[in-house]
Amino acid sequence: MEKKETYRIIISGGGTGGHIYPAIAIANTLKSMYQDIEILFVGAMGRMEMQKVPEAGYKIVGLWISGIQRKLTLDNLSFPLKLISSLLKSGRIIKNFKPHAVVGVGGFASGPLLYKATQKKIPALIQEQNSYAGITNKLLAKRVDKICVAHEGMEKFFPGEKIIITGNPVRKDIVHVGEKREKALEYFEISPEKPTLLIIGGSNGARTINQSVLEKLQELIDAGVQIIWQTGRFYIKDVQERIKDFDLRNVRVYEFLKDMDLAYAAADVVISRAGALSISELCLAAKPVIFVPSPNVAEDHQTKNAQALVQKEAAVMIRDVDAKDQLVEAAVKLIKDHDRQITLKENISQFARPEAAEVIANEVLKLIN
């Protein structure tokens, strides 16, 4: 494909790591294709993208926008004003930046920006990470040119002729984590002779997962299990305080794991929430996983994400409400069942799409040309 001028692309959306990290992966891939490409992010003021995107080396502009809460709040009363403000600012951003194309990844900021862009006939693409489409993407579906999805059966949410199954973009360091096993064991200072359980609950942590492990931590220790445990920033102090009296020689506790490739490489079994990004990484890492879907998400989409894999015998799922009684027992059982681990690894790897970012980036460039 011949490039005749510097392309300018806006990527909009965020709110959670599940929106932000795929967006950054798309941006990085576009940059690797054309070094002089100009990429501008548009996010929501006060949300995590306003920190994470600049850390990744990109400029971001914030909109004054938030979602509608399920109960009556001051935020809901101010929503019409926020929406008007965001639409006006989106119009100014588009006028000044003059994008050749826009990409929406879901989240509050994606709506106003893509609405104004499509109003001006600028080519637009949205990327839906989950098996149950978010409200912003559902509202934008009729306006955009292409819709990149990670799951089959998304015709129930979007026009079928616009859908391309691409998978979710993930960090490149997740590919071939098996080759990093030795390095990972050294990094975490754990033994190659003992099974390792990785516990992750998303970037902020998961209260239910943490509480369930705390309740039966001694059972894991007695089973000879090594633990790499990301508690999340809201729970780290509580967890550290409550485990002080345990034998912690085989327990590694972290607020946040930056080197997720090494965490996956060290793990024999994983406990995780069922966010779209976590699922995509686990498919690529090909790890036996027990999902504990968060019940506190729109349309219970994490349960639907997990069920898509459970139905193919590619994962185990424990409901959030059952986790305290069943999670640790299920983890110990799986750690001891090597045949079951092999089945889960083989099946979950079938869902991996390591080229997702490249496919999406190429679709963006096709729209421009």
Domain 173-349, classified CATH 2.130.10.10, yes or no: no
Domain at 8-168+355-368, CATH from 3.30.300.130, 3.40.50.2000, 3.40.190.10, 3.30.70.380? 3.40.50.2000
| Contact yes or no for 133/106 (Cβ under 8 A) | no
Residue 70 is predicted with a pLDDT of 55
Band the pLDDT of 74: cuts 50, 70, 90: low
Half-sphere exposure of residue 14: CA atoms within 13 angstroms, side-chain side: 26
Q: How far apart are CA 186 and CA 24, in angstroms?
A: 29
311 assigned binding-site residue:
no
Q: How far apart are CA 200 and CA 261, in angstroms?
A: 13
* Per-residue model confidence as pLDDT tens digits over 106-137: 988 999 999 999 999 999 999 999 888 988 99
Q: How far apart are CA 188 and CA 166, in angstroms?
A: 34
16 assigned binding-site residue:
yes
The helix/strand/coil state of 40 is strand
Residues 6+ apart with CB under 8 A from 348: 282, 283, 286, 287, 288, 289, 309, 314, 315
203 assigned binding-site residue:
yes
pLDDT(292) > 70: yes
pLDDT(69) > 60: no
User: Per-domain residue ranges for the chain?
Assistant: 8-168+355-368, 173-349
Q: How far apart are CA 303 and CA 155, in angstroms?
A: 19
* Per-residue model confidence as pLDDT tens digits over 253-286: 999 898 999 999 999 999 999 998 899 999 999 9
137 assigned binding-site residue:
no
Q: How far apart are CA 6 and CA 229, in angstroms?
A: 44
Between 205 and 341, residue with greater pLDDT: 341
Residues 6+ apart with CB under 8 A from 170: 21, 22, 25, 277, 280, 281, 284, 356, 357
DSSP E strands: which ranges in the chain? 8-12, 38-44, 59-63, 101-104, 124-128, 146-149, 163-165, 196-200, 226-230, 251-254, 269-272, 289-291, 316-317
| Contact yes or no for 234/224 (Cβ under 8 A) | no
Q: Examine domains 8-168+355-368 and 173-349 and report if their fold is the same.
A: yes
Residue 258 is predicted with a pLDDT of 86
C-alpha distances (whole Å) from 117 to each of 93, 141, 361 are 10, 13, 18
Q: pLDDT averaged over the chain?
A: 93
pLDDT(212) > 70: yes
Residue 203 is predicted with a pLDDT of 67
The helix/strand/coil state of 149 is strand
252 assigned binding-site residue:
no
* Per-residue model confidence as pLDDT tens digits over 344-360: 999 999 999 999 999 99
Band the pLDDT of 17: cuts 50, 70, 90: confident
pLDDT(145) > 60: yes
pLDDT(163) > 90: yes
C-alpha distances (whole Å) from 53 to each of 24, 28, 62 are 7, 11, 11
Residue 249 is predicted with a pLDDT of 95
Residue 73 is predicted with a pLDDT of 62
| Contact yes or no for 213/269 (Cβ under 8 A) | no
Give the pTM. Answer: 0.85
273 assigned binding-site residue:
no
pLDDT(101) > 70: yes
Residue 156 is predicted with a pLDDT of 94
91 assigned binding-site residue:
no
Share of the chain above pLDDT 70, in %: 96
